[in-house]
Amino acid sequence: MNVLEIRELSVDYHSGGGAVHAVADVSLDLRRGEILGLAGESGSGKSTLANAVARLLRPPAAITSGSVVYHRRDGGPVDVLGLDRGALRAFRWKELAVVFQSAMNALNPVSAIGAQIDDVLRVHVPRMSRKERVERTAELLRRVGIGADRRRGYPHELSGGMRQRAAIAIALALNPEIIIMDEPTTALDVVVQREILHEIRALREEYGFAVVFITHDLSLLMEISDRIAIMYAGRVVETGSAKTLHKAPSHPYTLGLLRSFPRLHGPREELLGIPGTPPDLRSPPPGCAFHPRCRFAMDACSERRPELVPGAEGQVACLLNDDTGVRQ
Ligand code: SF4
Ligand code: MG
């Protein structure tokens, strides 16, 4: 059961030097209650895709084609890109919430944490009594690991980890079906990062929401995601279960990413990384955009763009997939 279906979505940034194709023809499903990891180097289109889905794009970015359909738990499909202003406001809190990397930007610096949650509840659930709001706020803070006694704390009085937890509590306030997290823990130290990630998993078990979790750190994603989608140059190049991508990635770029980060568990491996830099998206390389950096590239790779097709498990967009698969 999908909660969100993205179809052939494209986003351009219009700059002086021509259009940057930040997201190109992306089709991706989010299943109800799953944690979907979205990985790729910076500039691969992850954040742009997430912001397009949440309708948070601002000029000069614009959706040029495609559709996003949200399936309510107890209702019909919703055309997300067609929502008007009023409907969008409700959608963004009640159905889909976003947690950004910098909690400081999401939090109001002159308002106590508890008051900010209370505000969200007051505006969006007018029938809730003051007492109910106080109870709900205390519960939310407790669930994300902030003692209810901290509800009077201001953002600057909290540690980075606590601020991020507060941002998560606010996102959870109206029980959304989807939470998009864009590098929510990147600025935190590794221990706090992992703590929060495991709590997100636990909260997911309890509330049943689906998560789109964005990071450039694939090894971190492997720990907490059910499924992973890898983006390169604005396109999805591989999808699969975290397990499969970890053990047997099919796309050379996924393989490169895996070797770019030290694993959290297991033996140390040489960090091969990926040579070169991501392409200029004003004029991406012809054929497979990864070909200038791919150690498996063949002649055909600069001529023919591989389609995202079903692979052993999940999908992959690589000409090698046709017959041989990636030799590791
Ligand atoms: Fe490498 Fe060719 Fe596959 Fe692209 S299509 S990832 S260049 S082998
Ligand atoms: Mg980003």
Check if 278 has its Cβ closer than 6 Å to any atom of ligand 1: no
Point out the residues of the chain with pLDDT beneath 70: 103-105, 261-272, 322-328
Check if 252 has its Cβ closer than 6 Å to any atom of ligand 1: yes
Separation of CA 325 and ligand 1 centre (Å): 10
From the alpha carbon of 294, which atom of ligand 1 is closest?
1
Separation of CA 58 and ligand 1 centre (Å): 33
Check if 221 has its Cβ closer than 6 Å to any atom of ligand 1: no
Check if 154 has its Cβ closer than 6 Å to any atom of ligand 1: no
Pick the CATH number of 2-322 from 3.40.50.300, 3.90.640.10, 3.20.20.10, 3.40.50.620: 3.40.50.300
The residue type found at 122 is R
Q: What would the two tokens of residue 254 be?
A: 């996924």
Beta bridge partners of 5: 29, 69
- Whose CA is closest to 260, among 281, 278, 235, 286? 278
- Ligand nearest, relative to CA of residue 22: 2
Residue nearest to atom 7 of ligand 1 (CA): 291
Alpha carbon separation from 98 to 40, 88, 108, 178, 233 (Å, rounded):
19, 13, 15, 9, 23
C-alpha 282/C-alpha 197 separation (Å) is 35
DSSP string, 7-39: EEEEEEEEETTEEEEEEEEEEEEEETT-EEEEE
Determine the pLDDT at residue 261: 61
C-alpha 252/C-alpha 296 separation (Å) is 7
Determine the 3-state secondary structure of 101 from DSSP.
Answer: coil
Separation of CA 313 and ligand 1 centre (Å): 18
Determine the 3-state secondary structure of 302 from DSSP.
Answer: helix
Q: What would the two tokens of residue 51 be?
A: 């912001």
Determine the pLDDT at residue 262: 55
Determine the pLDDT at residue 217: 81
Which H/E stretch holds residue 238? strand 235-241
Domain ranges for the chain, please list them.
2-322
